[in-house]
Amino acid sequence: MYRWETVQAVTAQRVFGIIRTAGPDEAVAAAEAVLNAGLNAVEIALTTPRALTALAHLTETRQGALIGAGTVIDAAAARAAVEAGARFLVSPSLHPGVIRTGHRYGVPVFPGVSTPTEMVHALEEGADALKLFPASALSPGWLRDVRAALPQAPVLPTGGVTIDNAPEWIAAGAVACGMGSALTSGGARASGERVSTLLRTLAGAR
């Protein structure tokens, strides 16, 4: 896939999963639970011990899914994630080196931003989409107002997004939401039910 095709695929369902666990086995189990429930894209946070092990395993066994790396905060981590098979990179902050490294290998990058100034800077650096983080400190109304001035900004609210408020973020102009424990907590059955419910809800969101 070209970068733009990957971005379209990651955001097509308007939500992607964030996996952050105590180890690689737990990460694989959590990712498989939401993927089996119908989610197409997940990121494995590099704060997970041996995260690259989980990432490499999932990219080999779930080749139809979009497996990315999250919490990528420097160029070295970006390169390691790409070598492990990451299809996209997500960061909590804006690091031009991460963007350059991802793009060097054809991998889209979603850096973290929290102000209009950071959003414009990220776009200037070539960001493929913007992770609005932490979304819990802001609101869908805030995003709606900012997008009135920056309608070209593809925004991904992450951090505090819930099943209840995800449709509000989409209605405010977000292209997709990143969700972690709000989707993955409680085991495979509970997370699977939440994914199914959320996908039905977001399919009708405007």
| Banded pLDDT at 187 (limits 50, 70, 90) | confident
Peptide bond into 167 cis (omega under 30): no
161 closest CA partner among 56, 11, 17:
17
Helix (H, G, I), strand (E, B) or coil at 75: helix
How much is the pLDDT for 90?
A: 98
- Choosing from 32, 60, 83, 131, which is the catalytic residue? 131
DSSP lists the bridge partners of residue 79 as: none
Instruction: State mean pLDDT over 50-64.
Output: 97
Q: CA dihedral defined by 92, 101, 30, 205, rounded to 10 degrees?
A: 60
- Count of beta carbons in the 10 Å neighbourhood of residue 171: 13
Instruction: State mean pLDDT over 87-99.
Output: 98
Instruction: State mean pLDDT over 13-42.
Output: 96
Mean residue pLDDT of the chain comes to 96
What are the strands, taking DSSP E only, across 36-133?
A: 41-45, 66-70, 89-90, 109-110, 112-113, 130-132
User: Residue 83 catalytic?
Assistant: no
Buried b / exposed e along 16-28 (16+ C-beta atoms within 10 A): bbbbbbeebebbb
**Does the pLDDT at position 132 exceed 90?**
yes
How much is the pLDDT for 186?
A: 86
What angle is formed at CA 91 by the lines to CA 108 and CA 48, rounded to 5 degrees?
A: 110
- % pLDDT > 70, the chain: 100
Give the separation between CA 93 and CA 114, rounded to whole angstroms: 9
- % pLDDT > 90, the chain: 95
| Banded pLDDT at 204 (limits 50, 70, 90) | confident
**Does the pLDDT at position 142 exceed 90?**
yes
User: Residue 26 catalytic?
Assistant: no
- Choosing from 5, 26, 32, 43, which is the catalytic residue? 43
| Banded pLDDT at 172 (limits 50, 70, 90) | very high
Is there a contact between 33 and 191 (Cβ–Cβ < 8 Å)? Answer: yes
Give the separation between CA 51 and CA 119, rounded to whole angstroms: 28
DSSP string over 170-203:
HHTT-S-EEESHHHHTT-HHHHHHHHHHHHHHHH
How much is the pLDDT for 149?
A: 98
pTM, 2 dp: 0.97
Is there a contact between 48 and 54 (Cβ–Cβ < 8 Å)? Answer: yes
